[in-house]
Amino acid sequence: MALLSAHDRLEFADRALDEYDIQPIAVFFLQHSENMTFRVRASQGDFLLRVHTPITPAFGDHGANRSIVTSEMIWLAALRDARFPVPPPVPTRQGEYTTRVDGLNVTLLRWLDGELLSRETESEDTAAQIGSLVGHLHQYSANWQIPNGFIRPSRDAAFFENAVLSLWPAVEDGRIDAWSYRTLQASIAWLTGEICRLNPTRATFGIIHGDLHRGNYLLNNGQISVIDFSMSAFGYFAYDLGTCLSNIRTTYHQTFLENYTKYFSLPIDYKRLIEAYFIASWVATFALWISDVASQEALVQRLPLIANKYAERFNRDERFWFNE
């Protein structure tokens, strides 16, 4: 979708909301990243309206596939039924989780109250809660019976290989240096080799959140909930762990892991694998930033830091989070 004016965005949202049995009072545009999102205030409460069209192709084209989008909503409904603190999906008047407006897939979720978790509000208690929540999510994923027709993207070897390759144009035009690129590429090569070697089992592989950074947790009256499952995918659970630990102070890592393992076991030789996925999560983020004008400053500052501080040590088989 081409960038719309403020008026056109709200007009689109109003037409989309006609598909639902709610009475909107006010609609507010939030942002446009992997989805275009709106907060809806209605007589029945607040909602989150999502238009599944990415601002840049780097986010992928899965939002255009109705079955893939609906599968995310089915997963959320299953988690909500199991009493996980996640946003409840809202069906249309026709009882469907996804509707189409002007050729675009649209979904609606109930709004979850709370403030986004920040560095300032992070604590040992929040780390413990997140560890328990993620461990429970992975336990549930490992045992969930995947329904027929359920489709989500894969975080497989090809995904990470393509992510690192997408950074090369930034080397050619001078935004990033060749050494940093080659350093990240070597880390990803180890990970993709490991992914190809591993045998996916229910103890290691399933539906992952795929984007468990600090900004996807809400803190409300001391309780943590998790939001934004739009990047959920099939992958190794260690990917979620790499993202989680990158957003938790290292002093709280042990607290996180102790609470995680109350619900789910860590993979064998988890230390190197989790650190590899941490680097890979950053490479996936850099791949999104490559074509985003607003992210260029962050790209040129952050990428060399990740390469120098983490990937170089990883490539020497040194741990940067875990003791040997």
74: CATH: 3.30.200.20
**Dihedral of the CA atoms 297, 32, 232, 284 (nearest 10)?**
-20
Alpha-carbon span 80 to 50, nearest angstrom: 18
Give me the residues paired with residue 24 across strands: 42
Give me the residues paired with residue 236 across strands: 205
CB neighbour list of residue 152: distance below 8 Å, 6 or more residues apart: 62, 68, 71, 72, 75, 207, 232, 233, 234
The chain-wide mean pLDDT, for the chain, equals 94
pLDDT band at 8 (very low <50, low <70, confident <90, very high): confident
pLDDT at 89: 97
Same domain, 302 and 180: yes
- Longest CA pairwise span in the chain (Å): 59
Same domain, 154 and 302: yes
pLDDT at 64: 84
Is 65 within a domain? yes
Same domain, 66 and 144: no
For the residues 25-37, what does the mean pLDDT come to?
91
pLDDT at 324: 55
**Number of C-alpha atoms within 13 angstroms, CB side, residue 79?**
29
Can you read off the two tokens belonging to residue 157?
A: 């070897």
pTM value?
A: 0.93
Is 1 within a domain? no
46, 81, 110 - which closes a domain = 110
Is 323 within a domain? no
Same domain, 178 and 89: no
Is 309 within a domain? yes
Task: Please state, in angstroms and as integers, the Cα–Cα distance from residue 305 to each residue in 179, 184, 298, 299, following that order.
Answer: 12, 11, 11, 10
Is 162 within a domain? yes
CB neighbour list of residue 155: distance below 8 Å, 6 or more residues apart: 208, 210, 233, 234, 235, 236, 239
55, 80, 110 - which closes a domain = 110
**Number of separate domains in the chain:** 2
Alpha-carbon span 136 to 151, nearest angstrom: 22
Amino acid at 153: P
Same domain, 145 and 293: yes
Same domain, 133 and 76: no
Put residue 117 in one of left, alpha, beta given phi > 0 → left and psi -120 to 50 → alpha: beta
| pLDDT surpassing 80 at residue 147 | yes
Amino acid at 281: S
DSSP run (H or E) holding 108: strand 104-110
78, 110, 142 - which closes a domain = 110
pLDDT at 1: 47
Same domain, 196 and 282: yes
pLDDT tens profile 286-302? 999 998 888 999 999 99
CB 214 within 8 A of CB 122: yes
Residue 41 structural domain: 6-110
Helix pair angle (253-260, 124-143), 10° resolution: 30
Residue of 147 and 32 predicted with greater confidence: 147
Other C-beta atoms closer than 10 Å to the C-beta of 13 total 22
| pLDDT surpassing 80 at residue 2 | no
CATH of the domain at 243: 3.90.1200.10
Give me the residues paired with residue 115 across strands: 219
pLDDT tens profile 157-183? 999 999 999 999 999 999 999 999 999
Alpha-carbon span 246 to 53, nearest angstrom: 28
Same domain, 132 and 278: yes
Same domain, 204 and 253: yes
Same domain, 205 and 239: yes
The distance of Cα 71 from the centroid of its chain, to the nearest Å, equals 15
CB 181 within 8 A of CB 171: yes
- pLDDT over 90 for what percent of the chain? 87
Same domain, 199 and 259: yes
Can you read off the two tokens belonging to residue 66?
A: 């109705």
CB neighbour list of residue 202: distance below 8 Å, 6 or more residues apart: 142, 143
Alpha-carbon span 116 to 217, nearest angstrom: 6
- List, in sequence order, the alpha helices (H) in the chain: 6-17, 66-81, 124-143, 157-165, 168-172, 178-197, 237-246, 253-260, 270-289, 296-306, 312-315
Same domain, 15 and 159: no
